[in-house]
Amino acid sequence: MRVWLHSLTLLLSITISACTAPRSTVHVSASPLRQPSRAERAAPPSAAPSAPVMDAGISCIHVFQSLPRSLRPDAAYAFLENDSYAVGFSLTRKEPLWAAYCLKSGVVPHSVTRPKNKRFDADARVAVPLTHDDYTNSGFDRGHMAPSDAIGQWYGDDAQISTFIVTNICPQAPSLNQQTWAGLETAETAVFARMDGQTYVICGPIFGPTPQVIGTNHVAVPDAFYRVIVHSNVGHTDVLALVLPQSVGGQGHTLSEFVVTVDQIEASTGLDFFAALPDDLEERLESTKADAGAWPLNLVLSRAKILAGVRDVEQ
């Protein structure tokens, strides 16, 4: 498979189980009996008294290992499960702090078409009167976190429609949402998910100290977005961690420009990923950057180029 990825990169130049909580669950609680995670032990002493750990204590088929732990109050979230993806929704930021989904290899993609002019539905599961109109005339797109195309291809039409809900979007600059971020979403479905095994994705916003807000409900505008992509197959795990600033746009960027460590994302978000893993494995996955032998880091994030490259490799 790495040979296939290498060929594609050169050409481009460059579950059967259910979540243990019901769909409408809003579950944010402490877990006093567990041992502190690696991220908690590494936190500066001054942060400990004012940064209670929020731990949903739930494993979910959409998320690699377990739900993220919240290490500080501004990272607390309501857990919302959907049939094909899950989100951790912030009642203060008025958007998801994370969205997670799994793309299994070997799935024959559904043929789906993105709905035109589809309004984003309100979500009665959260006590926030957030609507589609909070984004209107704001200058920002309604940026999907769990992507419409990937969810539709893997899970079908109804699943695709379920991504058009206000608890699955963040304010994204149009050039980022429609170009570079869209190219990254295409890479997931056309390249990463073709690798044997399972591809888990968790993504969300990164905020500055005093975010701009939009709409009647004061939706916070992120400074950047992260994406952590995990490929798991037969006991082997590779991680690709990325951060894309709001200012990024265009279709000429490569993956390598945005590579960071999971540790860096945790420090920026206040979320602790992979906390259920043994500490030695968690340390390795979170502290090292993506391996160029495992990921096509020279891949150009252009939807058109990626799809053209895939067609050429398959011929």
C-alpha pair distances (Å), 176 with each of 13, 183, 223, 301? 21, 10, 12, 11
- DSSP for 82-143? -SS-EEEEETTTTEEEEEEEEEETT-------PPTTPPPBP-TTSSS---GGGGTTSS-EEE
Q: Active-site residues: which are they?
A: 144
Which two structure tokens, joined as six digits, stand for 35? 């041992």
Q: What angle do CA 153, 307, 294 make, to 5 degrees?
A: 85
Task: Report how far residue 36's alpha carbon sits from residue 21's, in angstroms, rounded to the nearest whole number.
Answer: 23
DSSP state of 54: B
Cβ neighbour number for residue 178 with a 10 Å cutoff: 16
CA angle 35, 39, 44 (to 5 degrees): 105
